[in-house]
Structures are given as structure tokens and as C-alpha cells.
Chains A and B, each alone.
Chain A
Amino acid sequence: MLTQIRNWGTFVVSALALFWLQPASAVRHLDFWLPCATLALAAVVWVWTLPVFEAANRREVVVDVAVLVCAVCGVALLRDVPALVGVLTRTPPPEVAAVALVMVLVIGACAAVGRMRGKAAWAVGVAVLIGLLLLQKYAPATEVASGALRVLQGQSAAHASAFDWRWFGFSYVAFRLIGVLRDRVIGRLPAMRLREFVTFAVFAPALSAGPIDRPDRFLKDLRAPYTLMAPQFFAACERLLLGVFKKFVLADTLALIALSDAIAPHLRPGWAWLPVYAYALRIFFDFAGYTDMAIGFGMLLGVRLPENFNAPYLKPNLTQFWNSWHMSLSQWFRAYWFNPLTRALRIRGWEPAPIVLLGQVSTMMLIALWHGVTANFVLWGAWHAVGLFVHNRWANFARERLSFVNERPALQRVVNMAGAIATFHFVVLGWVWFALSTPSAALHALQALLFLPGLR
């Protein structure tokens, strides 16, 4: 019973949270349609990846769809309750008739694509999701899209800007859906009910900043009987509070002095490290804080979300840093990109060095582009790709020749500490690319940090 309440509650609240968290947009009704699009995408991918199209329990599907439709229509109906306008959505929602029409179209689309199955069709699905991600991450494309949407809404395209198009949580939702499509291709996807699938895709605690869970793992928690005992409750609250402290006390305080485009041109050698250290700690506490809050909320709901950070700044080398920084994202790329690529090339008899180079450069580029399609993100990715490759080759070289280090714990500790300091600073310098918007700003900052003569 309790489990049922938890499951339905999480399903409905997660769907509603999409609307609630979606920022306003200058394009009319976009803050309503984007969450709808997220739900529609999830529904389409669910139908598409059913083990057998007809296999779904019809009665269950009808109930799940009815609940989802009622939730969305309920949001739209709020436009007629003056006191509640702006509570769930930032701007008044569109007419319910329009919403109903769109929902009929979505259900029709689900029925249609449900029959187009097979590897090729799913590959197209992955491509569409990547295309939508690009639309969001590549500013010129975003502007075109926002112009088109403005015209569609009868507004002037002249004021279109990338700012109109902030699709809340989509980066994470898209990755979950791409993972699902890939899992389906390799036959690893568990059979899920619609409400379970939607809950997985838009799980409210993990909407804004991940982590990116795996469907089989998530489903296991969702189907386990739900109880909330005192120790579990306190542990969840502790995790939540820890997240609140990291995000709202540490990160937001450090943000006051963290590296930014405003301060970068004025940096002076020596002291310049302060804002850069502040940025490094801020981005960690911000992200780790969000993750703690997500995991804490998840625990309250009986879902054990994956960890995203494992003391990344204390790791003795760059490879281990990436094993402990934004772990669910790097794990995602490993599962769906790096491992298949490495396996394929290894089977073809490639040597390790070129595989590692190709694998790491391409993975880091993809991770970089996921943050946004800009020169500086690419440079940040390249920075880490080179660092990872160099570390890999060094480790390979050192394994045979420096194995005596492993046998002396004291020496090993010293080496690890030196490695941690060097790795931290490599990462910190990498953040300069990440934090600033242009290569020239980043170069100027690096010049001040490294006491270099003028590079400008």
C-alpha cells in the first residue's frame, strides 16, 4: 500500500515538478510546452522500447496514460484559477483545448512509432535526441529554434535569443533516454510500466543536476517494498542538510569571489590563484551539494541514486580524478561510448596507445560538448584528454620500472600526495577554460596564473 502511494506520488510529483522547475521564456507558453515535450519524449521512447509492442497490459497502460493526461490537463486548467496562475508554471498555460489536441497527437505518434522498431529505428531515435541536445547547447542553433518558435506563436522573430530556450533538465533526461535506447539494442532493458519509465526519466530529485541512473538499478528500488524507518529518515535528512550546506553556504559564498569573465581581465600574478581556487571549490561544492540533495531526496523516496563524487580533488592522478568526478556522467560515456569503441578497436587488433588516445580524446570531447558547444568547452575537454593520455602512458611506463614504490608505503604516500597536488592544479588550470567564455580571456588568466610574459 505504502509502496503504491510512493510510486504513484513520485510519478505525478515528478511530472508536475517538470512544470514547476521550468524557467520562464519570452516565447509564449514555451514554459508549458517544454515540460510537455519532455514527458512526450519519455512516453514515445517507452512505447518504442517495449519488449513486444502488444505485450503491455492494456488496463495498466490506460490508467498510467489517464493519470499523466490528467496531470498535464490539470496544469493547463490552472490558467482559469487566478489565485494559482504562476504557482506551477511561470506564465499562464495555453488553452486546455490546445493541450488536449497536442496530447491526442502525442498518443497517436506513440502508436505510430511503436510499430517502427529495430536497430535502425532506435538509432534514429538516438540521433533525434542528440539533435535536440545540440539545439539546446549550440547557441546559433538555439537562436534559430527560438526564432522559429516565436513565429509559430505569432510573435516577432526579431528578438529571438538563446536565452528563450532553456529546457529544464533536458540534458539529463536525454542521456537517460539515449541510454535506454542503447540498452534496448543490446537487449539489456528491463520491461517497465509506463509510470515506472516516466518516473525513471524525470525523477524529480535528479532533474536539475543528475545523477544519471541506470534503468535496471532504478527499477529494482522502485519495485522493492517501500518503508521509511527512523534511521533511514535521519540518514536522508543528514544527506539533504549536507547538500544544503555545500550548495547554499560554501558554494554560494565562494561564488562571490570565484573566477568569472568580470574579474579575469584584471587578474594580477600571484593573488590570481585565489579566484581560481575559489572557482574550483565552488563548482565542486555546488555540484556535489546538488547531488547530496538529490540523493537525500531519493533516500526519502526509497531510491538509492548513484553517487556522483568521491573526493575527486584528493586523487593522486587524473585518471582517478575522472573516476570520482561527475561519476554518473563519465560512467554513462564509458558504458555507451568508450567501452564499445575500445572493445571494437581491440578486437581489430589495434595497439593500446592509439586506442587510449582515440578513446580518451573522443570521450572528453563528447563530455565537453555536452556542457555546451563553445570553443572554451572544447579546449577544456582537450586539456583533460591530453592530461589523461599523458598519465596513461606514464602509468604504463612507470608500472614496470617504478614498482618498488608500491612496496614502500611511506614512499607511496609521498608520491600520492605529490600526485594529488599536481593533479589538483592541473584540474584547477583546466577550470580556467571552463569558467571563462572566450579563449583569449582564458589565455590572459593563465598568463597571470603562471607568471608568463604577455600572451595577448
Chain B
Amino acid sequence: MNERLRIFLKALAAYVVLNLIMLAGAGPTPAGLSVYNTLWPGRVRLPWGERPDLAYNLSLGNLDAMFASHEIAVPKKDDEFRVVLIGDSSTWGFLLKPEETLAARLNAAEMQRDGRRVRVYNLGYPDFSLEKDALLLHHAMAYQPDMIVWLVTLRSFPRDAQGHALTMANMAEACAAVGRTCEPRVRSLLERTLWGRRREIADLARLQLFGAAWAASGLDQYYPTQYEPVQRDLERDEKFRTYDRASGLPRVDLTFDAFDVAAHSRVPLLIVNEPMYISDGANSDVRYNFFYPRWAYDAYREMLRDEMRMRGVRYVDLWDAIPASEFTNSAVHLSPRGSQMLADILVRDLER
């Protein structure tokens, strides 16, 4: 028993010492222990999952760990022309298998650029927020992209829609990404201990473990057998969030400044107004779809075009490029075929 007690006391002492070591370092929990791209193959899209038990995937706030688990963390080859896709769940590929996403379709086209092989990386991440997109782009700069393709839609623009979990968890970098300066949040003593970081550490460990399921099955999201298809018949409602025809869509309320960092990065940038479902059902004369009344979306398109012209950024507007039949459960989620169609269009823009 005495020996057991000694072992217990030693373990307790080790735990206390580890906590003290953690206290000394104030930064985020390190992601250096990633086993992706070594033990497991890297993920083809960033880890995200609301139901880890079903999706074999999880959402976490640690950007370093997220990128370390992605195939983009493999050193760039000399003959590689590296393209990163930034965007929302549509780019990430909600309901699409890894081989059906826009990035996968573009890779399948085996493009060449300046004598190098074009390799497209999917850095899309679910939910609509330009600042979240800018944050991911800012983080992606460390991985030497040769070109950035950023797919956007109106829902990502309103200022009051920016509080994304990922930006909240990485406030300092998120501010830097859009050219603001913020005081980094100071972690309390307790938050810096092993105990205070148990969630972060557990998330990191689970991310590594889910890599086994990813390697074995290629599963990284839950595919329901049935889903509610995109809404065809619409309410007779002309509101977009709090805006209506009378108030209009004030330009200052849209987060155009999120493009600043990308524009200053000197990496060629292509902004794509992403395709959306255009309904022909009830009240489709006032609304394009569940997301957008016609007046607001039309105003947005005009503003975006002007903004890109002013900035001198390459811009393609593909808002109506995909037929209504190729959308799945939301106005921007593409079917496997829709994803192929979009890729076929973008190939032309990428080879130029």
C-alpha cells in the first residue's frame, strides 16, 4: 500500500509541476503534436463538426491545430502553383464528399500555370462571416499561396453578422487580419493551467484521434439520408435582416474592409460572387431565395462590382451561373454536379 501511495503522490506532484509549467507560458495551447500528414493523411478541408459522434469530426478554436491537420501543412513542392479557396460552407462542401468539393473538382482538372502544376486547397469554413474568412486567409499566408480565390455572398457582409466562433477564439489575429488592432485577451491564472485548458487539450487530442477515422473512411462530416431541400416557395417579405426597401442597404454596414489584407498581400486575388439558388416558386418576384429579397441582392451585386473595380481586384460574378436544380439544402449549397459546373467555369479563370 505504501508503494501505491507513493505512486499516487508522485503522480499528484507531476500534475502540479505540469500546471506550473503551463502557467509560465501564456500563449495558446500548442498544436505541435499534430499527427496529420505523418501518421494519418492530411485532411482535405478544415476540421468542422457539430456532432462529433456522427461526423467523426469536430469544431475547435485552435487555428494552428486546424491548419496542421490540413493537407496544406505539407511543404510546398517546387513545381506547385498553390491556390487556396476561401469561403463559407458552400466552399467547404456541406453535404459533398471530399472528392466532390469545388477544390477537389478543380484539382481533378489538372491545370498548369507558369509551367507549374496547380494544386487547389480547400480552406472554406462553414458559416457566413467575411472576418472569419479574412482570419483564415491571414493564417493561410504562412503556407505560401500563389493565388487566392475568395468566394463570397451577401450574407457574409453585414457588420453585425461577424461574431463567428473562430474569430472570437482568435481575436488578436482576427483583428490583425482586417487591419484593426485589438488588445489580446489576457488569460487568467486558472485558464493558463493544465486544468483550465482541459477543454482545449481534449479537443486537440480528439482531433488527432478522429484522424484515424478520417484515414479509414474518408468521412469528415455526417451525411443524413434525407434533408430538407432548399425552400422554393417564399414568404412575401422584402426584408433582408433589419433592412427593407425604405432603409436600403447602407454601404457602411457591409464589411468591405475585410478585403484589405488580401489586397495588400501581393498574392493574386480572385473574388467570386458565389452562385446561388434562384427560385421560380411563390413570391419569387420579390425574393430570389430564402436568404435574399431581390432589391437587396441587386444592390449588393452593384456595390461589390464597384468595390472590386475600385480596388483593381479581379472579380467574377457567378450569382446565376448554376441552375436551380443543382442546389441541395440551402440557397448556396451545391450538388455534386453543381460543384462540377462551378469548377468548369472557374478553371478558365484559374488558368489565366
Direct contact between A and B in the complex (CB less than 8 angstroms)?
yes
A contacts, CB < 8 Å to B:
230-231, 234, 238, 253, 256-257, 262-263, 266-268, 271-275, 278
Complex CA gap A207/B216 in Å reads 36
Which of B52, B215, B216, B218 interacts with A256 by CB under 8 Å?
Answer: B52
Judged by a CB distance under 8 angstroms, whether B315 is at the interface is no
Q: Knowing A256-B206, A263-B217, A275-B213 touch, does A238 contact B56 (C-beta < 8 A)?
A: no
9 contacts across the A-B interface (CB closer than 8 A): A256-B52, A256-B209, A262-B54, A262-B222, A268-B216, A273-B216, A274-B213, A274-B215, A274-B216
The distance from the CB of A47 to the nearest CB of chain B, in whole angstroms, is 45
Interface centre among A262, A263, A267, A278 (most CB of B within 10 A): A262
Q: Determine whether B53 belongs to the interface, using a CB cutoff of 8 Å to chain A.
A: yes
Question: Is B1 a contact partner of A263 (Cβ separation < 8 A)?
Answer: no
Residue pair A256, B217 in contact (C-beta under 8 Å): no
A230 to chain B, nearest CB (A): 7
Question: In the complex, what distance in Å separates the CA atom of A275 from the CA atom of B216?
Answer: 7
Q: Which of A234, A253, A267 contacts B216 (CB 8 A)?
A: A267
- A266 contact from B54, B206, B212, B217, Cβ within 8 A: B217
A residues within 8 A CB of B213?
Answer: 256-257, 263, 274-275
Q: Say if the beta carbon of B352 comes within 8 Å of chain A.
A: no
Instruction: Determine the residue in chain B with the shortest Cβ distance to A265.
Output: B217
A263→B210 contact, CB < 8 A: no
Which among B4, B209, B210, B216 has the highest number of chain A CB atoms within 10 Å? B216
Determine if B219 is an interface residue (Cβ-Cβ < 8 Å).
yes
Residue contact A257 to B218, C-beta cutoff 8 Å: no
Across the interface, A274 reaches (CB within 8 A) one of B205, B212, B219, B222, namely: B212
Residues of B within 8 A of A271 (CB): 212, 215-217
If A263-B217, A268-B218 touch, does A256 touch B210 (CB 8 Å cutoff)? yes
Complex contacts, A253 vs chain B, CB 8 Å: 205, 209
Residues of B whose CB lies within 8 Å of any CB of A are 1, 4, 52-54, 56, 205-206, 209-210, 212-213, 215-219, 222
By the criterion CB–CB under 8 Å, are A267 and B217 in contact? yes
4 closest A-B pairs (Cβ-Cβ)? A266-B217, A271-B216, A271-B215, A257-B213
Chain B residues contacting A231 (CB-CB under 8 Å) are 1
Smallest CB gap from A254: residue in B = B209
Q: Is the CB of A263 within 8 A of B219?
A: yes
CA–CA, A234 and B205, complex, Å: 31
B216 touches A238 (CB 8 A): no
Q: How many A-B residue pairs have CB under 8 A?
A: 53
Q: Which residue of B lies closest to A277 (CB)?
A: B212
CA of A121 to CA of B217 in the docked complex: distance in angstroms? 55
CA distance A257 to B213 in the complex (A): 5
Q: Please pick, from A234, A263, A267, the residue contacting B4 in the complex, using a CB distance under 8 A.
A: A234
Name B's interface SS.
Answer: helix
Contact B4 A238 (CB under 8 A): yes
Most B Cβ at <10 Å: residue of A231, A267, A273? A267
Are B209 and A257 in contact, CB atoms less than 8 angstroms apart? yes
What CA separation (Å) do A231 and B1 show in the bound complex?
A: 7
**With A268-B218, A271-B216, A275-B212 given, is the CB distance from A256 to B1 under 8 Å?**
no
CA separation between A234 and B210, bound complex, in Å?
Answer: 36
Which residues from chain B contact A266 at a C-beta distance below 8 Å?
217-219
List of B residues within 8 angstroms of A257 by Cβ: 56, 209-210, 212-213, 216
Collect the chain B residues with CB atoms within 8 Å of residue A230's CB.
Answer: 1
**Docked complex Cα distance between A272 and B218 (Å):** 10
Task: Provide the bound-state CA to CA distance between A95 and B234, in Å.
Answer: 52
- Chain B min CB distance to A203 (Å): 27
Expressed in whole angstroms, the Cα–Cα distance for A267 and B4 within the complex equals: 44
* Cα distance A420–B268 in the bound complex, in angstroms: 59
Q: How far is the CA of A238 from the CA of B8 in the complex (A)?
A: 11
CB nearest neighbor in A for B54: A262
Q: In the complex, are the beta carbons of B4 and A275 less than 8 A apart?
A: no
- The minimal Cβ–Cβ distance linking B38 to chain A, given in whole angstroms, is 14
What 11 new A-B contacts, CB under 8 Å, besides A238-B4, A257-B212, A274-B212?
A231-B1, A234-B4, A253-B209, A256-B206, A256-B209, A256-B210, A262-B222, A263-B217, A266-B219, A273-B216, A274-B215
Complex Cα gap A272–B213 (Å): 8
Residues of B within 8 A of A274 (CB): 212-213, 215-216
Residue contact B1 to A234, C-beta cutoff 8 Å? yes
A263 touches B56 (CB 8 A): yes
Nearest residue (CB) in A for B211 is A257
Q: How far is the CB of A200 from chain B (nearest CB, A)?
A: 31
B209 and A263 contact, CB distance less than 8 A: no
Residues of A within 8 Å of B209, CB to CB, are: 253, 256-257
Contact, CB under 8 Å: A272 / B4: no
B222 / chain A contacts, CB cutoff of 8 Å: 262
A-chain residues with CB within 8 Å of residue B212 when the two chains form the complex? 257, 271, 274-275, 278
| Residues in A whose Cβ lies below 8 Å from that of B52 | 256
Given contacts A256-B53, A257-B56, contact A263 B216 (CB under 8 A): yes
Residues on A with beta carbons closer than 8 Å to the beta carbon of B54: 262
The residue of chain A having its C-beta at the shortest distance from the C-beta of B222 within the complex is A262
A266 to B221, CA, bound (A): 12
A267 and B56 alpha carbons, distance in the complex (Å): 13
- For residue B205, which residues in chain A have a CB less than 8 angstroms away from its CB? 253
Closest to B58 in A: A256
CB distance from A240 to the nearest CB of B (A): 13
Interfacial chain B residues near A238, Cβ < 8 Å: 4
Separation of A275 and B4 alpha carbons in the complex (Å): 35
Given the complex of chains A and B, what is the CA–CA distance between A278 and B212 in angstroms?
Answer: 9
Give Cα distance in the complex from A164 to B56, angstroms.
29
Q: How far is the CA of A153 from the CA of B345 in the complex (A)?
A: 63
CB of B198, distance to nearest CB on chain A (Å): 13
Chain B residues with CB below 8 A from A256, complex form:
52-53, 56, 206, 209-210, 213
A95 to chain B, nearest CB (A): 40
Residues of B within 8 A of A234 (CB): 1, 4
Complex formed: what's the CA distance from A278 to B215 in Å? Answer: 13
Q: Name the residue among A253, A263, A271, A272 with the largest chain B CB count within 10 angstroms.
A: A271
The residue of chain A having its C-beta at the shortest distance from the C-beta of B216 within the complex is A271
Q: How far is the CB of B97 from chain A (nearest CB, A)?
A: 9
Cα distance, A263 to B223, chains bound together (Å): 11
Closest B residue by C-beta to A255? B53
Within the assembled complex, what's the spacing in Å between the Cα atoms of A124 and B239?
A: 73
CA distance A171 to B58 in the complex (A): 36
Q: How far is the CA of A234 from the CA of B5 in the complex (A)?
A: 9
- Find chain B residues with CB under 8 A from A268 CB: 216-218
Alpha-carbon distance between A273 and B215 when the two chains are bound, in angstroms:
10
In the complex, what's the smallest C-beta–C-beta distance from B52 to chain A, in angstroms? 7
B144 to chain A, nearest CB (A): 29
From B52, B205, B215, residue with most partner A Cβ within 10 Å: B215
- Complexed CA–CA distance, A231 and B206 (Å): 37
